[in-house]
Structure formats: C-alpha cells, structure tokens
C-alpha cells in the first residue's frame, strides 16, 4: 500500500452512510458464512467509483469489529472496473471513525 486515498468530506459522508445503511448488513451475512474472506461492495459517488473492502478485525472472532477500507476503481478498457489498491482510506477501523 502506497498511501492514503484522498476523499472529499462529501464522499466520506456518503460512503459512511452507504456502509451504515446497506454494506455492513450485506457484509454481516457474507462474513457469517465465510469469516476468513473479505466482502467487497462497489459504490459510485458523483463521477468516482469506489470499492469498499469489509473484513473482521479478528477473523477468529465472528463478533469482532469490522474494518472497512475504501479503494478507487477505474475502467479497465473491457467494460469492467479494476480496483487500485495502491491508495486506501480506512472508513471504519484502524483508528479511523471507530
């Protein structure tokens, strides 16, 4: 990982709302079945597209806090998006908005 993904206050607030209202609910269901895997949730905010990676802070404890890391996505030329993991923003966990 190279550095922090720069987000506007609006993007942070929007992504946090999506996390709280939808993504974390879907992640809980997925993580109950696959506790050692990451859950990915793609969200468009304005003209940018983001991937939210949600995982357990302690994969051995299903009740542990969830961590949410945001990455930006870009078109890959084939009609799909690719996630750039060189910059990230901790939306939840890792001492950010815990």
Q: Give the tens place of pLDDT for each residue, 57-96.
A: 877 777 778 899 999 999 999 999 999 999 999 999 866 5
* Pairing label, strands 66-75, 81-92: antiparallel
Q: By the 8 A CB rule, do 72 and 50 touch? A: yes
Q: Give the tens place of pLDDT for each residue, 10-41.
A: 999 999 999 999 999 999 999 889 988 999 99
Give me the helices (H) in the chain, please.
9-18, 24-33
User: pLDDT category, 48, cuts 50, 70, 90?
Assistant: very high
Q: Is the pTM here over 0.85, yes or no? A: yes
Domain ranges of the chain: 3-92
User: pLDDT category, 98, cuts 50, 70, 90?
Assistant: very low
Q: Which of 12, 2, 7 is nearest to 87 (CA)?
A: 2
Q: What is the pLDDT of residue 65?
A: 84
Q: Give the tens place of pLDDT for each residue, 36-46.
A: 899 999 999 99
């Amino acid at each position: 990982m190279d550095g922090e993904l720069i987000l506007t206050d609006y993007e942070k607030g929007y992504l946090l709302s999506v996390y709280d209202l939808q993504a974390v609910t879907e992640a809980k269901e997925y993580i109950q079945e696959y506790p050692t895997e990451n859950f990915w949730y793609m969200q468009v905010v304005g003209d940018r597209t983001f991937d939210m990676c949600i995982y357990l802070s302690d994969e051995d404890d299903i009740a542990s806090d969830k961590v949410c890391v945001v990455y930006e996505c870009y078109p890959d030329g084939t009609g799909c998006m690719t996630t750039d993991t060189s910059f990230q923003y901790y939306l939840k966990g890792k001492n950010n908005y815990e």
